[in-house]
Structure 1
C-alpha cells in the first residue's frame, strides 16, 4: 500500500543504542508520558509521536484504521532515518496500532511490549451480559461522545478538561503543559478519535487476517483486576458486571502473550489501566530486560 507522507508531530528523547517507539492510547498525548520517558531515556532513544489528527500532526484523508496508522508511522520512521530495528510499546488502543505495525513490518521490529493493550478480539467484551457497563462504554456511545466534543469550541473544551489541564502544570514543564492544553482543547482531536473508534472493528479484523505474528520477544503487561474493579465501582458500575468484564479482559491479555513463542505476561499489581503512571517501575523493569 502506498501512503502519502504526512507532517506528524514527534519528539525524541535520549541517545541510547536501543530505539523505543511508544504508541499512545486513543485520545492521549505524548505529553502525559514525559515523566515516564525521563526515567528510561538513559538507556533508550525514545521516539513518541502524535498520530494524524492529534496535536500538531496533519489531518489525514485516509480512514483512521490501524492499517493506515501503521503505514503512516513507517513513513515517519523513514523520514527520521531510522534504519535499525526498533522496539515498540503500545498502550491501550496504541497496542492495537503497534500490533498491526509488527505484523506489516516484522523485519523492522525486535521486540514488542503491549501495555494493557486492546485485543483484536475486543468484541468479546461487548458480548457479555453487562448492560449497565455497556450503556456507558459501548463503541457507539464513545463515538457519539467524541463527536459531541468535536462540536465544542476550544474554550468549552478547556473548561471541560480544566482539572486535567491543571494537573498537567504540576507534572510537566510550563511549556509542555501549554502544549497539552492546546492538544486537549482541539476539536479536531475528538473528530479523529471518533473515526478511530468507528474503524475499530475493521482494524481488528484486518490484524487477524494478516500473517502469523513474528517470533520476537513479546511482553504483555496487564492491569490488576481488583484495582480496576474498585475503579469501576466508583463510577457506579455493579461489582458483578465489573468482575465479569475484568475476567474477560484478563483472558484477552493472556491470549496476546501467546502470540509469540517468546511471549510472556506480567501482572501490574495495584495498577489500573494507566500502568506507566500507576506502576512505572514495572514497565521500566520489563523494558530493561530487552537490553
Structure 2
C-alpha cells in the first residue's frame, strides 16, 4: 500500500487511491484516525468505483503547517487537492466523526462539486450543546474533562517519536488487530508521530468554532445524504463500564442520538440509518453497512 505526497500549495498531503474508473468517493477520517482503517471498505468499493483516501495536515506523512486546523481550512485544502488531481466531476464524501464535520463543511462550501454525502457517526455541528450538557453531569465532567483531552494532545505533541513509543505506547483496537501485519505496522507508525497529536490538538481546540462556522452556512442541500448513527445502548454501556453514572450516560447519549438524527435536515434527500450493534467506529465494526450506504449513492 504505497501512497504519494501531493503539494497543493498550502501544504503537502499524503494520498492513496483505489480503483481505475467510476465516480470518486473521498474518505474523510475521524480525528486521530488513519486512512488505513478504511482499507477494507476502500478495497471493496474499488470493484465498482474510484476511492481517494488522504491524510489531513499532520496526519501520516502529510505536512503540518502553523495554520489552525479548522474544518474550513481542511475543506479548502481538500478542494485544492481535488483540483491538483484534476478531479472535476461531482464526488461522494464519506466522513467519520470529526471528519464528518469537515465533509459537511466542504459540502456547504462547494455544493456544485457534490454528488452525495455519507456521515458516519459524525461529530455534530452543535458541539457546544454537548459541552454545555457535560458541565451539568458531574461524573462525565470529572471523568472526561475537555481541557484534559486538549492538554493530553499537546503534551504528546511535545514528545519525540521514540518517547511516544515508550511513554504513550499506543494500542491497536481489536478490529485493527485483524488487519494484515503490514497495515498494523503502518497504523503503529501513524500513532507514534508527534505531528498527529499537534494536529489533533489544533482540530480539537477549534472544533466548537468550526461547528459554529458551519451553522452560518444554513442553505438546504439538494444531494442524496446518508446519516449513519451508532447504537446508543452500546455507547451507554461503554460509559457505565468506564465508571459513569447510568442516568448521566443515558442523558448524554440521548442528546447525541437527537443531534445525529437531526442531521438529515441538512438535505431534502437525507436519510437516517441506525446501525445496531455498532458503537462510534461504525466503519470498523460494521463496514458492510458503510459500503451499502455508499453503493446506494453510486446507483
**TM exceeding 0.5:** yes
User: Where in structure 1 are there 5+ consecutive unaligned residues?
Assistant: none
Matched, 1:190 2:197: yes
Partner of 2:144: 137
Partner of 1:225: 232
1:126–1:138 contact (8 Å) kept in structure 2: no
RMSD: 1.8
Q: Aligned partners of 1:165 and 1:230: how far apart in 2?
A: 18
Map 1:164-175 → 2, pairs under 5 A: 164=172, 168=176, 170-174=178-182
The 1:23/1:237 distance shift into structure 2, 3 A limit, reads: same
1:110–1:216 contact (8 Å) kept in structure 2: yes
User: Where in structure 2 are there 5+ consecutive unaligned residues?
Assistant: 1-7
Partner of 2:38: 33
The 1:168/1:270 distance shift into structure 2, 3 A limit, reads: closer
Partner of 2:291: 284
Count of residue pairs brought into register by the alignment: 288
Deviation at 1:166, TM superposition (A): 9.4
Partner of 2:187: 180
Matched, 1:163 2:155: no
Selected match of 1:251 from 238, 254, 258 = 258
Partner of 2:83: 78
TM-score using structure 1 length: 0.93
Selected match of 1:67 from 67, 72, 81 = 72
Deviation at 1:107, TM superposition (A): 0.6
The 1:162/1:51 distance shift into structure 2, 3 A limit, reads: closer
1:23–1:94 contact (8 Å) kept in structure 2: yes
Partner of 1:115: 120
The 1:225/1:166 distance shift into structure 2, 3 A limit, reads: closer
Partner of 2:53: 48
2:220–2:268 contact (8 Å) kept in structure 1: no
Deviation at 1:163, TM superposition (A): 3.1
Q: Aligned partners of 2:209 and 2:170: how far apart in 1?
A: 34
2:153–2:201 contact (8 Å) kept in structure 1: yes
1:10–1:49 contact (8 Å) kept in structure 2: yes
CA-to-aligned-CA distance 1:176-219 (integer Å, 9 cap, x gap): 33332221111111011001111111111111112414211111
CA-to-aligned-CA distance 1:99-145 (integer Å, 9 cap, x gap): 10001111101100110001111111122222221233343221111
Deviation at 1:232, TM superposition (A): 1.4
Q: Aligned partners of 1:75 and 1:148: how far apart in 2?
A: 31
